[in-house]
Amino acid sequence: MITLAIIVYLVGLALIALEMLVPGGIVGTIGFLCCIGAVVIAWNEHWAYGLVGLVFVLLATPLVIYFGIRRLSLRKSLVKGDAAEGSRADLDELIEQEGVAKSVLRPAGIAMFGARRVNVVTRGDMIEADAKVKVIAVEGNRVVVKKIE
């Protein structure tokens, strides 16, 4: 009977972990109820088993949630600090530089400036691929180009 309690508890932990991947509340709630059910099953076997199960539910379940959230966190992939300003400064360096359109600009596309690949836009003109272009402005994250002859 204690084996059943352990299995039900592990299923509950798995469902709680799954809730972090598929949010909605239902799977996590069922997982929590499985953990509580495991404590009840263990308590019916012997009060000491139930007490150990209760300690596991109170300690292990929050740990699973905490480490699951840390592992799935987007914190590491988000840009920190003033990196947006740094990228703006990098784009400002492109003003007046000449490059080559790598795709058809209608009006947006890709251009190469040296070894740097940049998303660019025109002022509405369509520019064929492999045409020479020149950066005329940087507006926020937009690099505006015009065709040069």
Q: What is the pLDDT of residues 59-95, one digit of tens each?
A: 877 887 787 777 665 555 555 544 444 466 678 889 9
Report the CATH number at residue 121. 2.40.50.140
* Of the residues 10, 39, 72, the one at which a domain ends: 72
Q: Which of 23-27, 122-126, 144-148 has the lowest mean pLDDT?
A: 23-27
What single string gives the DSSP state of each residue in the chain? -HHHHHHHHHHHHHHHHHHHHS-SSHHHHHHHHHHHHHHHHHHHH-HHHHHHHHHHHHHHHHHHHHHHHHHH-STTTS--TTHHHHHHHHHHTTTT-EEEESS-BSSEEEEEETTEEEEEE-SS--B-TT-EEEEEEEETTEEEEEE--
Determine, yes or no, domain membership for 36. Answer: yes
Domain that holds residue 28: 2-72
Q: Is the pLDDT confidence value at 98 over 90?
A: yes
pLDDT tens sequence across 15-50? 888 887 777 888 888 988 998 999 999 999 888 888
